[in-house]
Amino acid sequence: MVTTVGRRRIGVDVDGVLADHVTALIPRVLDKYGVELRWEEANQWRLPLGDSDIGVEFVEAMVDLEWVAGIPVYQDAAEAVGELASVAEVVIITARPPVAAEATQAWLHRHQVPYDQFMCGPELDRNRQDLAMLVDDYVGNIYEFVAHTAGIGVLLDRPWNRDDREDLGTVGGTGRFYVVQSLREVVGLL
């Protein structure tokens, strides 16, 4: 009998990992609220902006497909995901609304980010996708993944995820959670 061992599936988030959505939001909040936001100042998930906050603004902006198309890519994204794709199955997994799915896939192609599967939507369950690893910039997603799967959670260090990390080290035990400074480091964890 011939057995084929499937390649490991690696979940990769989009915003804050591949897409620099914070940079894209800067002119938008200047326009709307007259607030001059700087990238490194985005150090909270609900950073107040005028009468709003950064989380609300992202949700609103994600249905503006012209804005979605113009989000800059993080410099190392294509190369790093290319390396991952050579050794694993890359599953792009994002909470962006389904209305942005096509624009997001076009964006990935345009920036030459390879992937095997694309999943999109605020309701999708990252813990039921048979992922050996999840790369994300949101502590909550990594925490849930480590707590409810046998996979490894990898948090990409960003100014907005430096708080609330304490519990991550203990939730799954040794070797279940890593913080990386760049996507390039993820390949080394496989």
**Nearest residue (CB) to Mg ion, 15 versus 57:** 15
Query: At its nearest, how many Å lie between Mg ion and the CB of residue 5?
Result: 30
- The nearer residue to Mg ion, 7 or 41, going by C-beta atoms, is 41
Contacts with Mg ion, residue ranges (CB under 5 A):
13, 15-16, 137
Neighbouring CB atoms inside 10 A of 29's CB total 19
With CA atoms as reference, report the closest residue to 67 among 9, 93, 28, 35: 28
Q: How far is the CB of 138 from Mg ion (least distance, A)?
A: 5
CB-nearer residue toward Mg ion: 37 or 92: 92
**CB 4 to Mg ion: min, Å:** 33
Q: For strand 48-49 and strand 52-53, is the pairing parallel, antiparallel, or unpaired?
A: antiparallel
Contacts for 50-58 with beta carbons within 8 Å, 24 or more apart?
54/22, 54/25, 57/25, 57/28, 57/29, 57/32, 58/15, 58/21, 58/25
Pick 86 or 157: Cβ nearer Mg ion: 157
One DSSP character per residue, 14-55 reads SBTTTB-HHHHHHHHHHHHH-----GGG--STT-EETTEEHH
Beta carbon of residue 157, minimum distance to Mg ion (angstroms, whole number): 13
Residue among 21 and 28 whose Cβ is closer to Mg ion = 21
In the complex, least distance from residue 3 CB atom to Mg ion, rounded to whole angstroms: 36
φ, ψ of residue 147 in degrees (nearest 5): -70, -30
Half-sphere CA count of 127, side-chain side, radius 13 A? 11
